[in-house]
Structure 1
Amino acid sequence: MGVISPVETLFLKSQHRLLLLQPRDYSHPLVLHNTRRHFANFPRNNSFSSSSLGSCSVDFPVRSNPISQRCKDGNSSYPWRRYVSESDTNEMYHKKVSIMETLKQANSFIPHAILSSTILALLYPPSFTWFKPRYFVPGLGFMMFAVGINSNERDFLEALKRPDAIFAGYIGQYLIKPLLGYLFGVISVSLFNLPTSIGAGIMLVSCVSGAQLSNYTTFLTDPSLAPLSIVMTSVSTATAALVTPMLSLLLIGKKLPVDVVGMISSILQVVVTPIAAGLLLNRLFPRLSNAIKPFLPALTVIDMGCCIGAPLALNIDSILSPFGATILFLVITFHLLAFVAGYFFTGFFFSKAPDVKALQRTISYETGMQSSLLALALATKFFQDPLVGVPPAISTVVMSLMGVSLVTIWKNRKE
């Protein structure tokens, strides 16, 4: 141990201060060169003293170890001794990461959000009555924006290369599901003695296009097939202006007028515009896109809860009527058979496809989930009997709960 001069002490402090400027970059060549060149002959833990500067013990850094500094001074403290421990830095870093991860994993709370919004809407309807039907389209559009910003335009071009799968989804939407809807509509009237308007409401649910929520559930289960699901839903929605009135006339027995201009506007608002906005944002402003992405799952959960709870709250009187439990049973069974039929139908015709399981899940979502909000809007606008809107309102909750439950089951099986 040797005593060094005050000049050498000041130089030592200047070199140490340089090290503290970049506490994580210990391999900086200038720092290492100067430190080792000027103090190579000093022992590792030199103690030096000065009557005016106090005493310190300094550990010189190496490439693999952080700076360790120990200073003691009973009389005063010096600004250059400021030091942030690596444990504090790691704590702040991990706290930031944990918040981001929590936001990204918010999708896992979708079943809880749907169930909670359902219970809250039934127990306290005013909590959702503020979410008027005019908010449904923007709400669904936000979900599509979340899917678009996490997708790539090349994914959609690849989806168009599978016309057989798109046609299979179309068959599930407009053939398998309407047949099941007609069957349960007849059963509700003839077997359970429900009003004719209830049977018409079940049939109306089976006649509308695919639900945009099916795109989101596909995205959660099989992200690579989300563009294919969007194309399926877009095709069924684009043709709904012609197919839905024809099926309604065939199944319900009366013509159901549809506002073609309004339908086109709905397609643009709910599907095309949000998806295109997400894709463009992802392509032109990647930094902004990456900054937004972590917050979308949590916002989507809130949005979905509102879209689920509002139809229940707005139709609470009819849902809690004496025949409400019977309607619930019929709607649950209808959706369950639609999910199962879509799954096994796809497995039979695409048994040799390399991604048959993922395709089965995708078309099962497309067959079992439809735009019940659209059916509810049509029932409110084109039918005078309010009971026609009860099955669509219940269907909105049932198909959402069943869809997200399948997401949980299938994701666990994949993992």
Structure 2
Amino acid sequence: MALTLQLFPIWAILFSTIAFAFPQYFIGLKGMIVPLLMMIMLTMGLTLTLKDFSRATQNKKAILIGVLLQFSVMPILAFLLAKGMEFDTPSLIGMVLVGTVAGGTASNVLCYLAKGDVALSITMTAISTLLGVALTPLLTTLLIGELVDIPMMDMLISLLKIVLLPVAVGVMLNRYCHKLITKSLPVLPLLSMFAIVVIIAVVVALNQSKLATIGLFVMLAVVLHNGIGLLLGYFISKRLGCSEQVCRTIAFEVGMQNSGLAVALAMKFFTPSAAVAGSLFSIWHNVSGSVLASHWQKSPPSNNKSNELK
């Protein structure tokens, strides 16, 4: 898994370059974005058990902090960055979608590399993913509903199909076909990586003519959004009395977004231009997260036991 994550940015950049040079080979795959994302969510479900959700009762404080930061800091920050940089409407929509979706599954691998609390990371990702089914359309409507017509109920129904259903199927398969699923676990990160790389390539191909003009500005916003999210996730949780190990975990949960979902929602309900932010975030957050995880890996937490109230 660690090697897969390290190679992800390379493959994403390679396929993005090919898609930019030869968009005709990827444009026809536009209809595959939602099915590919459903496959990613299914692989996430296959790695989860019902016990992962019950772990929420073991560290309520950390999970509450992570979820609150996830659905407050990231959406508001995305909106402020897009408005401050005077993005056009599609780019504004794209940034807000990146900010309002749940945490990304890559955070679990990065947490492991950074010697964080992996069980807590998995639990937080699962909980934020489920909450995001309702909160993503709600927050998007609250932030830009006056500027853009947000199909809130349609988004909610789509999120139930794209996110909740595949995750639930994955959890059930893991429960009743556990031995078979265990054998397939090493392949799941590869499947997820392949799916995200293809999604990014398709978005690049669809936006080839526009990337030259909007790409750099959106990339800057994405870098700031991710970086500030990581910093606030770490230092706010530290300020609130969490252990070093938990602070690292929350940092990744807050700073890493399910940008593949943001891309799918942008493509389904808005325009290909609105999917640029999610595509760039998919590449960048794995680069920045890998660098941060590598740094933290060299300095293990002195005390792995959480010191906060349960």
Q: Does TM-score exceed 0.5, indicating one fold?
A: yes
List per-residue Cα deviations over 1:336-375 (Å, max 9, x = no partner): 1122112211221133xxxx33432333233223344454
| Structure whose residues are more often helix by fraction | 2
CA distance in 1, matches of 2:270, 2:5: 36
Equivalent residue for 1:341?
A: 232
CA distance in 2, matches of 1:161, 1:238: 24
Q: How has the CA–CA distance of structure 1 residues 264 and 218 changed in structure 2, closer, same or farther, with 3 Å as cutoff? A: farther
| CA positional deviation for 1:237 | 3.0
Cα RMSD for the two superposed structures: 3.4
CA contact (8 A) 1:188 1:199 kept: no
Q: How has the CA–CA distance of structure 1 residues 196 and 293 changed in structure 2, closer, same or farther, with 3 Å as cutoff? A: closer
Letter in 2 for 1:337: I
Letter in 2 for 1:346: S
Equivalent residue for 2:193?
A: 301
Equivalent residue for 1:275?
A: 167
Aligned counterparts, 1:393-404, within 5 A: 393-404=279-290
Matched, 1:263 2:150: no
Q: How has the CA–CA distance of structure 1 residues 391 and 164 changed in structure 2, closer, same or farther, with 3 Å as cutoff? A: same
Match of 1:287 among 154, 179, 183: 179
Equivalent residue for 1:111?
A: 9
CA distance in 2, matches of 1:318, 1:413: 42
Matched, 1:156 2:53: yes
CA contact (8 A) 2:140 2:150 kept: no
CA contact (8 A) 1:143 1:216 kept: no
CA contact (8 A) 1:181 1:334 kept: yes
Equivalent residue for 1:125?
A: 23
Equivalent residue for 1:146?
A: 43
CA distance in 2, matches of 1:121, 1:167: 41
Letter in 1 for 2:135: T
Q: How has the CA–CA distance of structure 1 residues 118 and 310 changed in structure 2, closer, same or farther, with 3 Å as cutoff? A: same
Equivalent residue for 2:211?
A: 319
CA distance in 1, matches of 2:262, 2:268: 10
Equivalent residue for 2:33?
A: 136
Matched, 1:223 2:118: yes
Larger gyration radius, structure 1 or structure 2: 1
More relative contact order, 1 or 2 (CA 8 Å, 6+ apart): 2
| CA positional deviation for 1:210 | 1.6
Q: Which runs of 5+ in 2 are unaligned?
A: 302-310
Equivalent residue for 2:67?
A: 170
CA contact (8 A) 2:44 2:105 kept: no
SS state at 2:183 partner: helix
Matched, 1:331 2:216: no
CA distance in 1, matches of 2:187, 2:131: 30
Equivalent residue for 2:143?
A: 247
CA distance in 1, matches of 2:158, 2:94: 25
Letter in 2 for 1:224: A
CA distance in 1, matches of 2:99, 2:55: 28
Q: How has the CA–CA distance of structure 1 residues 264 and 329 changed in structure 2, closer, same or farther, with 3 Å as cutoff? A: same
Q: How has the CA–CA distance of structure 1 residues 201 and 287 changed in structure 2, closer, same or farther, with 3 Å as cutoff? A: closer
CA contact (8 A) 1:198 1:391 kept: no
Equivalent residue for 2:251?
A: 364
| CA positional deviation for 1:163 | 3.6
Q: Quick one: percent identity of the two aligned structures?
A: 24
CA distance in 2, matches of 1:104, 1:375: 24
Aligned residues: 297
| CA positional deviation for 1:217 | 4.1
CA distance in 2, matches of 1:383, 1:107: 30
Equivalent residue for 1:235?
A: 131
CA contact (8 A) 1:346 1:360 kept: yes
CA contact (8 A) 1:125 1:313 kept: yes
Letter in 2 for 1:254: L
Equivalent residue for 2:306?
A: none
Q: How has the CA–CA distance of structure 1 residues 278 and 383 changed in structure 2, closer, same or farther, with 3 Å as cutoff? A: closer
Letter in 2 for 1:188: M
| CA positional deviation for 1:243 | 2.4
Letter in 2 for 1:399: H
CA distance in 2, matches of 1:261, 1:383: 12
| CA positional deviation for 1:319 | 0.8
CA contact (8 A) 2:46 2:174 kept: yes
| CA positional deviation for 1:246 | 0.9
CA contact (8 A) 2:5 2:286 kept: no
Letter in 1 for 2:72: L
CA contact (8 A) 1:114 1:308 kept: yes
Letter in 2 for 1:329: L
Letter in 2 for 1:305: V
| CA positional deviation for 1:376 | 4.4
| CA positional deviation for 1:279 | 3.0
Equivalent residue for 1:28?
A: none
Q: Which runs of 5+ in 1 are unaligned?
A: 1-102, 190-194
Q: How has the CA–CA distance of structure 1 residues 183 and 314 changed in structure 2, closer, same or farther, with 3 Å as cutoff? A: same
Aligned counterparts, 1:66-77, within 5 A: none
